[in-house]
Amino acid sequence: MAMQAGGESGGLSSEINVTPMIDVLLVLLIIFMIILPLSRRAFDTQVPPEQKQKQQQPQDNTQIVLELTPEGGYAINRQPFSKAQLDNAFHQIFDQRVAKLLFIKTAPNRKYGDLIDAMDIAKGAGVQVIGVTPPPEPGQAPAQ
User: What are the pLDDT digits (tens) for 74-103?
Assistant: 999 989 998 888 889 988 888 888 888 889
Is residue 55 assigned to a domain?
no
Report whether 74 contacts 66 (CB < 8 A): yes
Note down the domain range covering 104: 64-132
Per the DSSP assignment, residues forming a β-bridge with 129 are 101
Is residue 91 assigned to a domain?
yes
Is residue 109 assigned to a domain?
yes
Is residue 75 assigned to a domain?
yes
Tell me the DSSP string of 16-65: ---HHHHHHHHHHHHHHHHHHHHH-------PPPPPSS---PPPPTT-EE
> Residues 42-68: what's their mean pLDDT?
71
Say which range, 13-17, 112-116, 132-136, has the weakest mean pLDDT: 132-136
Is residue 88 assigned to a domain?
yes
CATH number at residue 83: 3.30.420.270
With H, G, I as helix, E, B as strand and everything else as coil, classify residue 90: helix
**pLDDT above 90: residue 58:** no
**pLDDT above 70: residue 21:** yes
* Greater model confidence, 132 or 81: 81
Domain count, the chain: 1
Is residue 144 assigned to a domain?
no
